[in-house]
Structure 1
Protein backbone atom coordinates (compact mmCIF):
# COMPACT_ATOMS: atom_id res chain seq x y z
CA UNK A 1 0.00 0.00 0.00
CA UNK A 2 2.81 2.43 0.79
CA UNK A 3 4.12 2.44 -2.78
CA UNK A 4 1.15 4.54 -3.81
CA UNK A 5 2.08 7.22 -1.25
CA UNK A 6 5.53 8.04 -2.62
CA UNK A 7 5.90 11.35 -4.49
CA UNK A 8 6.58 9.46 -7.73
CA UNK A 9 3.37 7.50 -7.39
CA UNK A 10 1.09 10.41 -6.53
CA UNK A 11 -1.12 11.52 -9.38
CA UNK A 12 -3.28 14.55 -10.02
CA UNK A 13 -7.00 14.10 -9.50
CA UNK A 14 -7.54 14.44 -13.23
CA UNK A 15 -5.27 11.49 -14.06
CA UNK A 16 -6.41 9.04 -11.39
CA UNK A 17 -8.25 5.94 -12.57
CA UNK A 18 -11.54 4.95 -10.96
CA UNK A 19 -13.25 1.55 -11.10
CA UNK A 20 -16.95 1.18 -10.31
CA UNK A 21 -17.55 -2.54 -9.84
CA UNK A 22 -20.60 -4.66 -9.19
CA UNK A 23 -20.00 -8.16 -7.88
CA UNK A 24 -22.32 -11.07 -7.18
CA UNK A 25 -24.23 -13.91 -8.78
CA UNK A 26 -27.50 -12.96 -10.49
CA UNK A 27 -28.62 -16.60 -10.39
CA UNK A 28 -28.99 -16.54 -6.58
CA UNK A 29 -31.70 -13.94 -5.99
CA UNK A 30 -30.41 -11.11 -3.80
CA UNK A 31 -26.80 -12.22 -4.34
CA UNK A 32 -27.15 -10.39 -7.67
CA UNK A 33 -27.60 -6.99 -6.01
CA UNK A 34 -24.10 -5.73 -6.87
CA UNK A 35 -24.40 -6.61 -10.54
CA UNK A 36 -27.88 -5.10 -10.82
CA UNK A 37 -26.79 -1.93 -9.02
CA UNK A 38 -23.80 -1.32 -11.30
CA UNK A 39 -25.97 -2.08 -14.33
CA UNK A 40 -28.57 0.50 -13.30
CA UNK A 41 -25.83 2.99 -12.39
CA UNK A 42 -24.37 2.62 -15.89
CA UNK A 43 -27.78 3.24 -17.46
CA UNK A 44 -28.39 6.38 -15.41
CA UNK A 45 -25.01 8.18 -15.37
CA UNK A 46 -22.28 9.21 -17.78
CA UNK A 47 -18.68 9.28 -16.57
CA UNK A 48 -15.31 10.41 -17.92
CA UNK A 49 -13.12 8.03 -19.92
CA UNK A 50 -10.83 7.32 -16.96
CA UNK A 51 -13.73 5.70 -15.07
CA UNK A 52 -14.47 2.05 -15.80
CA UNK A 53 -17.92 0.71 -14.92
CA UNK A 54 -17.81 -3.07 -14.76
CA UNK A 55 -19.95 -6.11 -14.03
CA UNK A 56 -17.52 -8.25 -12.05
CA UNK A 57 -20.01 -11.07 -11.52
CA UNK A 58 -18.27 -13.99 -9.79
CA UNK A 59 -14.95 -13.65 -11.62
CA UNK A 60 -12.92 -13.74 -8.41
CA UNK A 61 -9.18 -13.46 -8.97
CA UNK A 62 -9.69 -12.54 -12.63
CA UNK A 63 -10.62 -9.10 -11.28
CA UNK A 64 -7.18 -8.50 -9.75
CA UNK A 65 -5.77 -6.79 -12.85
CA UNK A 66 -8.64 -4.29 -12.88
CA UNK A 67 -8.50 -3.62 -9.14
CA UNK A 68 -4.71 -3.25 -9.22
CA UNK A 69 -4.99 -0.69 -12.02
CA UNK A 70 -7.45 1.48 -10.08
CA UNK A 71 -6.52 4.41 -7.87
CA UNK A 72 -10.08 4.54 -6.53
CA UNK A 73 -12.45 1.61 -6.23
CA UNK A 74 -16.18 1.70 -5.59
CA UNK A 75 -17.91 -1.67 -5.12
CA UNK A 76 -21.58 -2.64 -5.03
CA UNK A 77 -22.28 -5.98 -3.32
CA UNK A 78 -24.80 -7.94 -1.27
CA UNK A 79 -23.31 -8.22 2.21
CA UNK A 80 -24.72 -10.02 5.23
CA UNK A 81 -24.38 -7.31 7.86
CA UNK A 82 -27.04 -8.89 10.07
CA UNK A 83 -29.37 -5.93 9.45
CA UNK A 84 -32.92 -5.65 8.17
CA UNK A 85 -33.23 -6.80 4.53
CA UNK A 86 -32.64 -3.98 2.07
CA UNK A 87 -30.58 -1.91 4.53
CA UNK A 88 -27.61 -0.18 2.92
CA UNK A 89 -24.31 0.21 4.71
CA UNK A 90 -21.31 2.04 3.32
CA UNK A 91 -17.83 1.15 4.49
CA UNK A 92 -14.58 2.71 3.37
CA UNK A 93 -10.89 2.07 2.95
CA UNK A 94 -9.43 -0.28 5.58
CA UNK A 95 -12.86 -1.51 6.68
CA UNK A 96 -13.76 -2.83 3.21
CA UNK A 97 -11.82 -6.14 3.29
CA UNK A 98 -13.44 -7.09 6.61
CA UNK A 99 -16.88 -7.03 5.00
CA UNK A 100 -16.06 -8.37 1.54
CA UNK A 101 -14.67 -11.53 3.12
CA UNK A 102 -17.88 -12.15 5.03
CA UNK A 103 -19.52 -14.46 2.52
CA UNK A 104 -18.78 -16.93 -0.21
CA UNK A 105 -21.65 -18.53 -2.07
CA UNK A 106 -19.66 -21.62 -3.05
CA UNK A 107 -16.27 -23.24 -2.55
CA UNK A 108 -15.06 -22.24 -6.03
CA UNK A 109 -15.93 -18.57 -5.65
CA UNK A 110 -13.00 -16.49 -4.51
CA UNK A 111 -14.05 -13.86 -2.00
CA UNK A 112 -13.38 -10.28 -2.97
CA UNK A 113 -11.19 -10.03 0.11
CA UNK A 114 -8.68 -12.28 -1.68
CA UNK A 115 -8.81 -10.01 -4.73
CA UNK A 116 -7.90 -7.02 -2.55
CA UNK A 117 -5.14 -9.02 -0.85
CA UNK A 118 -3.66 -10.01 -4.21
CA UNK A 119 -3.64 -6.38 -5.38
CA UNK A 120 -1.91 -5.44 -2.13
CA UNK A 121 0.73 -8.15 -2.64
CA UNK A 122 1.38 -6.68 -6.09
CA UNK A 123 1.98 -3.30 -4.43
CA UNK A 124 -0.91 -1.83 -6.41
CA UNK A 125 -3.69 -1.42 -3.86
CA UNK A 126 -6.27 1.32 -4.56
CA UNK A 127 -5.70 4.56 -2.65
CA UNK A 128 -9.40 4.95 -1.89
CA UNK A 129 -12.07 2.28 -1.49
CA UNK A 130 -15.77 2.40 -0.82
CA UNK A 131 -18.24 -0.46 -0.53
CA UNK A 132 -21.97 0.15 -0.99
CA UNK A 133 -23.38 -3.01 0.55
CA UNK A 134 -26.98 -4.13 0.78
CA UNK A 135 -28.36 -6.58 3.31
CA UNK A 136 -29.96 -9.46 1.37
CA UNK A 137 -33.20 -11.19 2.29
CA UNK A 138 -32.77 -14.39 0.26
CA UNK A 139 -29.49 -15.77 -1.09
CA UNK A 140 -30.82 -19.23 -1.89
CA UNK A 141 -33.52 -18.49 -4.46
CA UNK A 142 -31.91 -20.20 -7.46
CA UNK A 143 -32.98 -18.41 -10.64
CA UNK A 144 -35.11 -15.96 -8.67
CA UNK A 145 -35.47 -12.21 -8.92
CA UNK A 146 -34.27 -9.68 -6.37
CA UNK A 147 -36.60 -9.55 -3.38
CA UNK A 148 -38.68 -6.40 -2.88
CA UNK A 149 -36.56 -4.83 -0.11
CA UNK A 150 -33.34 -5.35 -2.06
CA UNK A 151 -34.87 -4.07 -5.29
CA UNK A 152 -36.04 -0.97 -3.40
CA UNK A 153 -32.45 -0.39 -2.24
CA UNK A 154 -31.11 -0.02 -5.80
CA UNK A 155 -31.97 3.67 -6.24
CA UNK A 156 -30.59 4.74 -2.83
CA UNK A 157 -27.45 2.67 -3.50
CA UNK A 158 -26.90 4.46 -6.79
CA UNK A 159 -27.45 7.84 -5.09
CA UNK A 160 -24.84 6.88 -2.48
CA UNK A 161 -22.38 5.91 -5.20
CA UNK A 162 -22.87 9.23 -6.99
CA UNK A 163 -22.18 11.09 -3.75
CA UNK A 164 -19.00 9.08 -3.12
CA UNK A 165 -17.69 9.63 -6.65
CA UNK A 166 -18.38 13.35 -6.53
CA UNK A 167 -16.59 13.57 -3.17
CA UNK A 168 -13.61 11.94 -4.89
CA UNK A 169 -13.73 14.65 -7.54
CA UNK A 170 -15.12 12.38 -10.27
CA UNK A 171 -17.57 14.23 -12.54
CA UNK A 172 -20.84 12.28 -12.66
CA UNK A 173 -23.62 13.50 -14.97
CA UNK A 174 -27.12 12.11 -15.55
CA UNK A 175 -27.48 10.65 -19.03
CA UNK A 176 -29.59 12.62 -21.49
CA UNK A 177 -32.09 9.81 -22.01
CA UNK A 178 -30.45 8.36 -25.11
CA UNK A 179 -30.20 4.58 -25.17
CA UNK A 180 -26.86 3.21 -23.97
CA UNK A 181 -25.43 -0.26 -24.48
CA UNK A 182 -26.05 -2.42 -21.44
CA UNK A 183 -23.33 -4.04 -19.36
CA UNK A 184 -24.98 -7.46 -19.73
CA UNK A 185 -26.25 -9.17 -22.86
CA UNK A 186 -27.95 -12.42 -23.89
CA UNK A 187 -31.17 -11.70 -21.98
CA UNK A 188 -29.48 -11.64 -18.59
CA UNK A 189 -29.77 -7.87 -18.26
CA UNK A 190 -31.94 -6.70 -15.38
CA UNK A 191 -35.18 -6.11 -17.30
CA UNK A 192 -35.16 -9.33 -19.31
CA UNK A 193 -33.98 -11.63 -16.54
CA UNK A 194 -36.27 -10.24 -13.85
CA UNK A 195 -39.28 -10.53 -16.16
CA UNK A 196 -38.54 -14.22 -16.54
CA UNK A 197 -37.70 -14.81 -12.89
CA UNK A 198 -40.77 -13.19 -11.34
Structure 2
Protein backbone atom coordinates (compact mmCIF):
# COMPACT_ATOMS: atom_id res chain seq x y z
CA UNK A 1 0.00 0.00 0.00
CA UNK A 2 1.38 3.39 -0.95
CA UNK A 3 1.72 6.32 1.47
CA UNK A 4 -1.08 8.01 -0.43
CA UNK A 5 -3.60 5.16 -0.22
CA UNK A 6 -6.37 7.18 1.34
CA UNK A 7 -8.36 9.10 -1.23
CA UNK A 8 -10.34 11.11 1.26
CA UNK A 9 -10.45 11.65 4.98
CA UNK A 10 -13.08 9.78 6.94
CA UNK A 11 -16.17 11.83 7.61
CA UNK A 12 -17.63 10.70 10.95
CA UNK A 13 -19.83 13.55 12.01
CA UNK A 14 -22.46 15.88 10.62
CA UNK A 15 -25.48 14.72 8.64
CA UNK A 16 -23.79 11.60 7.33
CA UNK A 17 -22.03 9.59 10.04
CA UNK A 18 -21.23 6.73 7.70
CA UNK A 19 -17.88 5.64 6.37
CA UNK A 20 -17.82 3.72 3.11
CA UNK A 21 -14.58 1.87 2.49
CA UNK A 22 -13.72 0.61 -1.00
CA UNK A 23 -10.81 -1.79 -0.82
CA UNK A 24 -8.74 -3.41 -3.55
CA UNK A 25 -6.47 -6.22 -2.37
CA UNK A 26 -3.86 -8.35 -4.11
CA UNK A 27 -0.40 -8.13 -5.61
CA UNK A 28 0.04 -6.38 -8.97
CA UNK A 29 3.43 -8.09 -9.47
CA UNK A 30 1.82 -11.51 -10.03
CA UNK A 31 -0.42 -11.08 -13.08
CA UNK A 32 -4.11 -11.67 -12.25
CA UNK A 33 -3.38 -11.41 -8.53
CA UNK A 34 -3.47 -7.68 -9.10
CA UNK A 35 -7.14 -7.62 -10.13
CA UNK A 36 -8.39 -5.95 -6.94
CA UNK A 37 -5.76 -3.22 -6.95
CA UNK A 38 -6.32 -2.53 -10.65
CA UNK A 39 -10.04 -2.13 -9.97
CA UNK A 40 -9.45 0.44 -7.24
CA UNK A 41 -7.01 2.38 -9.43
CA UNK A 42 -9.44 2.50 -12.34
CA UNK A 43 -12.37 3.39 -10.11
CA UNK A 44 -10.47 6.36 -8.70
CA UNK A 45 -9.32 7.52 -12.13
CA UNK A 46 -12.92 7.63 -13.40
CA UNK A 47 -14.98 8.78 -10.42
CA UNK A 48 -15.17 11.22 -7.57
CA UNK A 49 -17.15 10.39 -4.42
CA UNK A 50 -18.76 11.95 -1.39
CA UNK A 51 -16.43 12.98 1.47
CA UNK A 52 -17.32 9.96 3.60
CA UNK A 53 -16.00 7.51 0.97
CA UNK A 54 -12.48 6.12 1.31
CA UNK A 55 -10.63 4.30 -1.49
CA UNK A 56 -7.75 2.10 -0.36
CA UNK A 57 -5.09 0.10 -2.16
CA UNK A 58 -4.89 -2.68 0.40
CA UNK A 59 -2.20 -4.61 -1.47
CA UNK A 60 -1.11 -7.55 0.68
CA UNK A 61 -1.27 -5.68 3.99
CA UNK A 62 -3.34 -8.28 5.85
CA UNK A 63 -3.89 -7.34 9.50
CA UNK A 64 -2.71 -3.79 8.89
CA UNK A 65 -6.11 -3.21 7.25
CA UNK A 66 -8.06 -3.91 10.43
CA UNK A 67 -8.65 -0.27 11.35
CA UNK A 68 -10.21 0.47 7.98
CA UNK A 69 -12.61 -2.46 8.26
CA UNK A 70 -13.54 -1.59 11.85
CA UNK A 71 -14.24 2.03 10.95
CA UNK A 72 -16.38 1.21 7.93
CA UNK A 73 -20.15 1.08 8.05
CA UNK A 74 -20.16 -0.33 4.52
CA UNK A 75 -17.28 -2.20 2.88
CA UNK A 76 -16.77 -3.02 -0.80
CA UNK A 77 -13.90 -5.38 -1.69
CA UNK A 78 -12.37 -6.17 -5.09
CA UNK A 79 -10.12 -9.23 -5.28
CA UNK A 80 -9.00 -12.14 -7.44
CA UNK A 81 -10.74 -15.22 -6.05
CA UNK A 82 -10.29 -18.86 -7.00
CA UNK A 83 -13.90 -19.95 -7.42
CA UNK A 84 -12.91 -22.89 -9.62
CA UNK A 85 -14.75 -21.26 -12.52
CA UNK A 86 -13.87 -20.13 -16.02
CA UNK A 87 -11.16 -17.41 -15.93
CA UNK A 88 -12.68 -13.96 -15.97
CA UNK A 89 -15.90 -15.07 -14.25
CA UNK A 90 -17.20 -12.67 -11.62
CA UNK A 91 -19.01 -13.69 -8.46
CA UNK A 92 -20.48 -11.49 -5.74
CA UNK A 93 -20.51 -12.56 -2.09
CA UNK A 94 -22.18 -10.46 0.59
CA UNK A 95 -22.21 -9.78 4.33
CA UNK A 96 -21.53 -12.69 6.73
CA UNK A 97 -20.69 -15.02 3.85
CA UNK A 98 -17.61 -12.99 2.93
CA UNK A 99 -15.23 -14.04 5.77
CA UNK A 100 -16.40 -17.65 5.58
CA UNK A 101 -15.96 -17.74 1.82
CA UNK A 102 -12.48 -16.21 1.84
CA UNK A 103 -11.37 -18.95 4.22
CA UNK A 104 -12.77 -21.80 2.15
CA UNK A 105 -10.19 -21.84 -0.65
CA UNK A 106 -7.25 -19.53 -0.13
CA UNK A 107 -5.41 -18.57 -3.28
CA UNK A 108 -2.58 -16.62 -1.65
CA UNK A 109 -1.22 -15.40 1.66
CA UNK A 110 -2.95 -12.03 1.39
CA UNK A 111 -6.32 -13.79 1.53
CA UNK A 112 -5.30 -15.64 4.68
CA UNK A 113 -4.41 -12.31 6.29
CA UNK A 114 -7.57 -10.58 5.15
CA UNK A 115 -9.82 -13.38 6.38
CA UNK A 116 -8.22 -12.82 9.80
CA UNK A 117 -9.01 -9.11 9.51
CA UNK A 118 -12.68 -9.84 8.88
CA UNK A 119 -12.90 -12.39 11.67
CA UNK A 120 -11.22 -9.99 14.12
CA UNK A 121 -13.64 -7.24 13.16
CA UNK A 122 -16.51 -9.60 13.94
CA UNK A 123 -15.01 -10.60 17.28
CA UNK A 124 -14.59 -6.96 18.30
CA UNK A 125 -18.16 -6.24 17.19
CA UNK A 126 -16.90 -3.58 14.80
CA UNK A 127 -18.00 -5.24 11.58
CA UNK A 128 -19.54 -3.19 8.74
CA UNK A 129 -23.33 -3.25 8.41
CA UNK A 130 -22.92 -4.24 4.77
CA UNK A 131 -20.06 -6.02 3.04
CA UNK A 132 -19.75 -6.89 -0.64
CA UNK A 133 -16.95 -8.88 -2.22
CA UNK A 134 -16.64 -8.67 -6.01
CA UNK A 135 -14.25 -11.43 -6.98
CA UNK A 136 -12.85 -12.48 -10.33
CA UNK A 137 -11.60 -15.94 -11.25
CA UNK A 138 -7.92 -15.53 -12.27
CA UNK A 139 -6.32 -17.16 -15.27
CA UNK A 140 -2.60 -16.76 -14.54
CA UNK A 141 -0.75 -16.09 -11.30
CA UNK A 142 2.77 -17.45 -11.83
CA UNK A 143 3.99 -14.62 -14.04
CA UNK A 144 6.24 -12.33 -12.03
CA UNK A 145 6.00 -8.79 -13.35
CA UNK A 146 3.09 -9.74 -15.60
CA UNK A 147 -0.17 -7.92 -16.04
CA UNK A 148 -3.81 -8.96 -16.08
CA UNK A 149 -4.70 -11.53 -18.72
CA UNK A 150 -7.14 -10.27 -21.38
CA UNK A 151 -10.18 -12.09 -19.99
CA UNK A 152 -9.53 -10.81 -16.49
CA UNK A 153 -8.85 -7.27 -17.71
CA UNK A 154 -12.10 -7.35 -19.65
CA UNK A 155 -13.97 -8.54 -16.54
CA UNK A 156 -12.84 -5.38 -14.74
CA UNK A 157 -15.46 -3.35 -16.60
CA UNK A 158 -18.34 -5.49 -15.33
CA UNK A 159 -16.80 -5.58 -11.85
CA UNK A 160 -16.59 -1.80 -11.76
CA UNK A 161 -20.18 -1.48 -13.00
CA UNK A 162 -21.33 -3.74 -10.16
CA UNK A 163 -19.26 -1.76 -7.68
CA UNK A 164 -20.49 1.65 -8.81
CA UNK A 165 -24.10 0.41 -8.68
CA UNK A 166 -23.63 -0.76 -5.08
CA UNK A 167 -21.85 2.45 -4.10
CA UNK A 168 -24.63 4.57 -5.58
CA UNK A 169 -27.21 2.60 -3.57
CA UNK A 170 -25.09 3.09 -0.44
CA UNK A 171 -25.04 6.86 -0.86
CA UNK A 172 -21.45 7.21 -2.05
CA UNK A 173 -22.56 9.67 -4.75
CA UNK A 174 -20.23 8.53 -7.56
CA UNK A 175 -19.76 11.20 -10.22
CA UNK A 176 -17.62 11.20 -13.36
CA UNK A 177 -14.23 12.68 -12.50
CA UNK A 178 -13.94 16.28 -13.64
CA UNK A 179 -10.42 17.07 -12.47
CA UNK A 180 -7.15 15.16 -12.72
CA UNK A 181 -5.82 13.26 -9.74
CA UNK A 182 -2.88 14.73 -7.91
CA UNK A 183 0.02 12.53 -6.81
CA UNK A 184 -1.05 13.11 -3.22
CA UNK A 185 -4.57 11.82 -3.87
CA UNK A 186 -3.67 8.75 -5.93
CA UNK A 187 -4.20 5.41 -4.20
CA UNK A 188 -1.00 3.97 -5.69
CA UNK A 189 2.29 5.23 -7.07
CA UNK A 190 2.27 6.57 -10.62
CA UNK A 191 4.89 3.96 -11.59
CA UNK A 192 2.31 1.23 -10.91
CA UNK A 193 -0.30 2.68 -13.24
CA UNK A 194 -1.54 -0.18 -15.43
CA UNK A 195 -0.46 1.28 -18.78
CA UNK A 196 2.95 2.33 -17.46
CA UNK A 197 3.45 -1.03 -15.77
CA UNK A 198 2.69 -2.90 -18.99
CA UNK A 199 4.69 -0.63 -21.30
CA UNK A 200 7.85 -0.71 -19.19
CA UNK A 201 8.08 -4.46 -18.61
CA UNK A 202 11.51 -5.76 -19.70
CA UNK A 203 11.86 -8.48 -22.32
CA UNK A 204 11.63 -12.06 -21.12
CA UNK A 205 15.37 -12.54 -21.62
CA UNK A 206 16.00 -9.79 -19.06
CA UNK A 207 13.25 -10.48 -16.53
CA UNK A 208 12.41 -13.80 -14.90
CA UNK A 209 8.75 -14.69 -15.38
CA UNK A 210 8.55 -17.11 -12.44
CA UNK A 211 10.03 -14.97 -9.68
CA UNK A 212 13.60 -14.45 -8.56
CA UNK A 213 15.62 -17.55 -9.48
CA UNK A 214 17.66 -17.17 -6.28
CA UNK A 215 14.56 -17.95 -4.23
CA UNK A 216 12.38 -19.88 -6.68
CA UNK A 217 14.72 -22.28 -8.54
CA UNK A 218 13.08 -24.03 -11.47
CA UNK A 219 15.59 -26.86 -11.65
CA UNK A 220 18.04 -28.63 -9.40
CA UNK A 221 21.53 -29.03 -10.75
CA UNK A 222 23.81 -31.90 -9.76
TM-score category (smaller protein) = 0.7 to 0.9
Aligned pairs for 1:123-138 within 5 A = 123-138=125-140
Query: Are positions 1:187 and 2:171 aligned together?
Result: no
CA contact (8 A) 2:81 2:107 kept: no
Number of aligned positions between the proteins: 186
Q: Deviations over 1:38-67 (max 9, x none)?
A: 110011111011110010000000000111
Question: CA separation of 1:15/1:109 partners in 2, compared to 1, >3 Å: closer, same or farther?
Answer: closer
RMSD: 2.0
Using structure 1 for the length normalisation, give the TM-score. 0.87
Aligned pairs for 1:35-184 within 5 A = 35-101=37-103, 102-106=105-109, 110-176=112-178, 178-181=179-182, 182-184=186-188
3-state DSSP of counterpart to 1:85: coil
C-alpha distance in structure 2 between counterparts of 1:133 and 1:105, whole Å: 14
3-state DSSP of counterpart to 1:33: helix
CA contact (8 A) 1:91 1:132 kept: yes
Higher helix share: 1
Using structure 2 for the length normalisation, give the TM-score. 0.78
Q: Compare 181-190 and 69-78 and name the one that shifted more.
A: 181-190
Q: Deviations over 1:143-188 (max 9, x none)?
A: 1111000110111111100111112232111112x31133211512
Instruction: Look up the match of 1:5.
Output: none
CA contact (8 A) 1:145 1:197 kept: no
